[in-house]
């Protein structure tokens, strides 16, 4: 009896930590295990658990099916409720996994489909979809196609055609699945072969790590793919490495040389603090985020300028969304509009002197403005170096925030506004790319001590873009990914990697202008925001 109660308590706790999107994902992943009729009546995760228990797929002696589902939707923080870790689930998947590779492929594909992709897909499928269904998620669309026999494990033609039409990059997921099927069929029809060496045996020693605390992240070389709509996809992938300084440049070209120089110089100034960086299993400690107050979030939104710089239309949308998301994350948000260079510095002076920081877990500062390399503009069009802004909050200048994470998100770029298709403008001063020797890497803006993170909307020498109605690509992606991934227990660096992936897929209506954000950090631990009790702002509307 006691075990039964404990088991049902575990299920209740998991149910309480899953939002609407997670429940929808669980329903989809269970489509091969439960009938469509039963899944249509599901309203909560508890309903799914009951159906799985009725089929004896889930019971107190064997909870692996639930662990697999949580792993698939990346709710890794809930695995511990069942006595699992991410690693133990991965080890058991080959022989205990219940979710088919076909279902995994569709779910992976759905995560890569943007809202614009979805709109185009629904338009192209308007004759195949029920007339009453005018608004649905990507998972609902795939389910609808399956119900109408337009999509199945051996029937991918319509799916492939839609992917080709809305974004050819999506085909990589489908093709990977098809190749795996062919490979599996060949293995089943042939004699056993000697097991090949693991991938790690082919990696040159030291390829993914370097001495000390310095790490460099780069995406693979950018490969533009023509798209019908407003998104363009980057074939590169990102890899996360823990360390003291962190970069994600857009291309592996000559600019990487300058980035490397910036990192190496910073690493010489800072002693290594991580022990045994070569250990892949070593887990980073996490920052304490359970104090009486989460922290303050400052938002400086420069919209109108006194000189030649144009108004930053759409910026108010960014400021509004940032305020909602960081309030949801538990921070006390204060927004300032149209501040001169002197007023920005005065604000930094005022907030660094605040004694209330002592009882708070972290500090966040978001600045939305025009900018040049390594600096932002006040509304008087005078320069304020980003390094100066951040230096107000070093341990010496602001001891109340010592050893606490300090996050700075900068939406600004390096060029004058570029005239282009209707809704796209550039947050910039000069449209021409500056010479490589003039580029300033984000590490040169970060104070030379630990616990800082700087999220830049774009890499040096490039423009960042702003939709005059919906806001900037970077800030909107940041807010969306925070809402999606904080409830899944992801740390801030993993979230920013997802932001890079999101923004890298966007383009103007002509498919010619792209953007790649660039985070840099000196964090010593993982930063994981506690999961808010309320649903994210996007689900409250």
Question: Which residues are designated catalytic?
Answer: 370, 413
Which candidate, 42, 3, 36, places its Cα nearest to that of 23?
A: 42
- Considering only CA atoms, which of 441, 496, 462, 453 is closest in space to residue 266? 441
Q: Which 3 state secondary structure label does DSSP give 455? A: strand
Contacting residues for 537 by C-beta, under 8 A, at least 6 apart: 321, 324, 325, 328, 483
> 475 near 201, Cβ under 8 Å?
no
- Label the pairing between strands 424-426 and 465-467: antiparallel
Size of the chain in residues = 541
**Are 77 and 488 spatial neighbours (Cβ–Cβ below 8 Å)?**
yes
DSSP state of 82: G
* Cβ 458 vs Cβ 434: under 8 Å: no
Q: Alpha-carbon distance 161 to 494, whole Å? A: 32
How many Cα atoms sit within 13 Å of 174 on the Cβ side?
21
Task: Collect contacts of 4-12 with beta carbons under 8 A, ≥24 apart.
Answer: 4/60, 6/60, 7/59, 7/60, 7/63, 10/63, 10/81, 10/82, 11/46, 11/49, 11/66, 12/46
- Map residue 453 onto helix, strand or coil: strand
- The count of other CB atoms within 10 Å of the CB of residue 136 is 15
Cα separation, 315 vs 301, in Å, equals 7
Positive/negative CA dihedral, 14, 16, 21, 23: positive
Instruction: Return all residues near 385 (Cβ < 8 A) that are at least 6 apart.
Output: 374, 375, 445
- The SS3 call for residue 174 is helix
Q: Are 518 and 456 in contact (CB under 8 A)?
A: yes
């Amino acid at each position: 009896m006691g075990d039964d109660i404990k088991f049902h308590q575990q299920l209740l706790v998991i149910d309480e930590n899953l939002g609407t999107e997670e429940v929808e994902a669980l329903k989809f992943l269970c489509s091969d295990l439960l009938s469509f009729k039963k899944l249509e009546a599901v309203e909560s995760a508890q309903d799914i658990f009951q159906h799985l228990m009725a089929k004896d797929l889930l019971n107190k002696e064997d909870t692996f099916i639930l662990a697999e589902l949580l792993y698939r939707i990346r709710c890794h923080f809930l695995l511990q409720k069942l006595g699992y870790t991410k690693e133990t689930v991965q080890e058991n998947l080959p022989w205990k996994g219940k979710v088919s590779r076909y279902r995994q492929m569709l779910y992976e594909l759905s995560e890569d489909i943007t809202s614009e992709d979805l709109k185009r897909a629904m338009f192209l499928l308007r004759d195949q979809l029920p007339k009453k269904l005018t608004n649905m998620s990507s998972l609902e669309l795939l389910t609808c196609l399956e119900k109408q026999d337009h999509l199945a494990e051996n029937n991918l033609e319509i799916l492939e055609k839609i992917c080709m039409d809305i974004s050819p990059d999506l085909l990589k997921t489908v093709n990977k699945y098809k190749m795996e099927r062919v490979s599996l069929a060949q293995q089943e029809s042939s004699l056993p072969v000697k097991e090949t060496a693991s991938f790690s045996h082919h990696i040159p020693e030291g390829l993914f790590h370097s001495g000390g605390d310095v790490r460099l992240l780069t995406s693979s070389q950018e490969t533009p793919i023509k798209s019908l709509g407003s998104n363009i996809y980057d074939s590169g992938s990102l890899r996360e490495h823990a360390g003291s300084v962190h970069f994600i440049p857009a291309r592996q070209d000559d600019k990487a040389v300058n980035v490397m120089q910036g990192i190496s110089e910073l690493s010489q100034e800072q002693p290594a603090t991580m022990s045994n960086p070569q250990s892949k299993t070593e887990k980073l400690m996490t920052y304490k985020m359970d104090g009486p107050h989460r922290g303050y979030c400052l938002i400086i939104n420069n919209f109108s300028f006194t000189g030649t710089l144009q108004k930053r239309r759409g910026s108010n949308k960014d400021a509004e969304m940032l305020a909602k998301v960081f309030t949801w994350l538990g921070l006390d948000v204060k927004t300032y509009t149209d501040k001169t260079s002197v007023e920005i510095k005065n604000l930094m002076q005022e907030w660094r002197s605040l004694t209330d920081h002592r009882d708070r877990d972290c500090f966040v500062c978001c600045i939305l403005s025009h900018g040049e390399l390594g600096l932002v503009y006040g509304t008087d069009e005078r320069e304020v170096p980003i390094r100066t802004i951040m230096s107000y909050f070093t341990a010496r200048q602001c001891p109340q925030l010592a050893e606490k994470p300090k996050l700075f998100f900068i939406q600004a770029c390096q060029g004058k506004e570029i005239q282009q298709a209707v809704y796209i403008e550039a947050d910039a001063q000069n449209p021409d790319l500056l010479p490589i020797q003039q580029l300033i890497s984000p590490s040169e803006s970060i104070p030379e001590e630990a616990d800082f993170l700087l999220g830049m909307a774009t890499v040096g020498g490039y423009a960042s873009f702003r939709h005059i109605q919906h806001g900037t690509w970077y800030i909107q992606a940041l807010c969306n990914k925070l809402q999606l991934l904080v409830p899944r227990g992801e740390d801030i660096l993993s979230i920013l990697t997802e932001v890079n992936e999101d923004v890298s897929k966007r383009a103007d209506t002509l498919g010619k202008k792209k953007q790649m954000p660039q985070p840099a950090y000196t964090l010593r631990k993982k930063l994981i925001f506690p999961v808010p009790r309320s649903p994210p702002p996007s689900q409250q509307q």
